[in-house]
Amino acid sequence: MLTATLLTDFGLADTFVAQMKGVMLSINPEVNIVDITHSIEPYNIRHGAVALGMSYKYFPAATIHTAVVDPGVGSNRRGIVVDDGKYIFAGPDNGIFSVIYAENKVTVYEITDERCYRNPTGVTFHGRDVFAPTAALISNGLRPDEVGPPIVDYQSFDIIPPSKTGDNTITGEVLYIDRFGNIITNITAAFITGCGFKLNGRLVSLRENYAQGQDGQLHALINSDGYLELFIKQGSAGLRWAGVKTADRITLELSD
């Protein structure tokens, strides 16, 4: 049984996710549909790209990942299928697959085959009318190269890698803020030495786990994905650092 995942900014208060699943199951009743998340910040393509990038590789080979954060729906932006040799991805050509492009050699196809389009196709819901049927058809045996011609001018954005200046200044990027308010950066353990650092002049201690944090104090740890994460024990670092958002630059001054 093939697995297909869904990642969107649709939330769960409306029927959008259910409609996508209904279309997919109508085409292939045997497909195993797994929700990655539907809580991506609305219209935040970068947030969706990072969340997909942190999730896709934990699924079995041949999984079909559909990602829809699509503020350009109904415009001339293309629908695409991405094949990295192990996984298949379907969604809008707006940078949502940027992490996939950065990590893998891929072939990208524009979705043009009429079989991939529901009739009629609405202008506001390509998640249901284009990407869900495309993913379901692929799960039923349609090859990625059958959805349309290959393209090389697909849209992508850079996630700037962390860097070190001198002996003790580290610059990185906020990947996202999770629902607990933990601020996940792209700074990895390889950049961190000692037991802490200064952030905006404030000393931040490095802990091994959340339980070691002092209530109300900002701490950091290396999370299970290998990234530096800022946290407040049973609190929200994101709320404390109001205004911090995805893609913001962050600079640390290492301390002994």
Taking every pair of Cα atoms in the chain, the longest distance, rounded to a whole number of angstroms, is: 64
Main-chain dihedrals φ then ψ at residue 165, nearest 5 degrees = -115, 125
Closest CA to 138 of 66, 216, 67: 66
Long-range contacts at 138-146 (CB < 8 A, ≥ 24 apart): 138/64, 138/81, 138/88, 138/90, 139/2, 139/4, 139/24, 139/28, 139/31, 139/64, 140/27, 140/28, 140/31, 142/115, 144/81, 144/83, 144/88, 144/107, 144/109, 145/83, 145/107, 145/109, 146/113
Gap between the Cα atoms of 56 and 17, Å rounded:
19
What fold does the segment set 3-151 form as a domain?
Rossmann fold (3.40.50)
Report pLDDT for 242: 65
Q: Which residues of 81-120 are buried (b: 16+ CB within 10 A; e: fewer)?
A: bbbbeebbbbbbbbbbbbbbbeebebebbbbeeeebbbee
* pLDDT by position in tens, the chain (length 256): 799 999 999 999 999 999 999 999 999 999 999 999 999 999 999 999 999 999 999 999 999 999 999 999 999 999 999 999 999 999 999 999 999 999 999 999 999 999 999 999 999 999 999 999 999 999 999 999 999 999 999 999 988 889 988 778 899 999 989 989 999 999 998 888 777 788 877 888 899 999 998 888 889 999 999 999 999 999 888 877 767 888 888 888 887 6
Q: What is the pTM of this model?
A: 0.91
The CATH architecture to which 163-255 belongs is Beta Barrel (2.40)
Domain boundaries, the chain: 3-151, 163-255
Three-class SS state of 199? strand
Report pLDDT for 79: 98
Three-class SS state of 189? helix
